[in-house]
Amino acid sequence: MKTKIFCDSADFATIKKMNNNPMVSGFTTNPSLMRLSGAKNYKNYSLKLLKVCKRKPISLEVFGDTFEQMLRQAMIINSWGKNVYVKIPVVNSKGLFSGKVIKTLSHKDIKLNITAVYTVRQVKKILKCINKNSKIIISIFSGRMSDVGKDPLPIIKESVRLTKRMKNVEILWASTREAYNYLQARNCGCSIITMPSTIIEKISKFGKSYQELTLDTVKKFLEDSKKSNYKI
């Protein structure tokens, strides 16, 4: 199974560049990335991104905290393009499961990306809510698990197993920290992995020998020391 690569960014220049990269099959954004990219007006900035990303799937997230706000925003975001997946956090800031939102939108055949997922229990709850025909991405934050000393692989593998026969559901490896995560995601059977453009560029170097890596590293040390004009 081939694991699709999505670019995790809201930067306009990055999305424009990566949209032409054959390695990249889609994009993921979130309110934090939008803010980092300098977006002042959420709708206008999203529509700007959609002008360059017209065909590849792109996830745009709601930012309301009540379920009523999420539903209203989701309907609006969904209207912006046929390639849009509406991102819904699995819980709100009070820890309440977004099941009502997921079920309502899914049964309207709105494409969803359920985000900030960390447990198999959350995955099971999501699967109970969805329409079996609607397109669903479940984003599991593997990198953030690793950041706090937890192994994401058992959760990823079990989530893939649970959804193996569900053609409408894709498991996405999120919060990627290094290029090797791509191989881990592929070996686990993830449908998608999303990552910053800097890591996508590193994947293009896959296949280098240890000898090549050694020479590249030493040459870089030498280059930097000469530029710095170090003397002892």
Flag whether 222 is in a domain: no
Query: So what's the pLDDT on residue 1?
Result: 66
Flag whether 146 is in a domain: yes
Query: So what's the pLDDT on residue 204?
Result: 85
Flag whether 128 is in a domain: yes
Flag whether 224 is in a domain: no
Task: Select from 111, 114, 231, 220 the least CA-distant residue to 174.
Answer: 114
Query: So what's the pLDDT on residue 186?
Result: 97
Say how far apart CA 138 and CA 162 lie, in whole Å: 12
Flag whether 211 is in a domain: no
Domain count, the chain: 1
Q: What is the dihedral of CA 67, 69, 70, 71, to 10 degrees?
A: 90
Residue 14, phi then psi, degrees to nearest 5: -65, -45
- Domain holding 31, by residue range, is 4-205
Structure tokens at 42: 């959420």
Q: What is the CATH number of the domain that holds 89?
A: 3.20.20.70
Flag whether 162 is in a domain: yes
Flag whether 84 is in a domain: yes
Flag whether 226 is in a domain: no
Structure tokens at 220: 């870089």
Q: Could you read off the pLDDT tens digit of each residue along the chain, which spans 232 residues?
A: 699 999 999 999 999 999 999 999 999 999 999 999 999 999 999 999 999 999 999 999 999 999 999 999 999 999 999 999 999 999 999 999 999 999 999 999 999 999 999 999 999 999 999 999 999 999 999 999 999 999 999 999 999 999 999 999 999 999 999 999 999 999 999 999 999 999 999 998 899 999 999 999 999 999 999 999 999 9
Residue 208, phi then psi, degrees to nearest 5: -65, 145
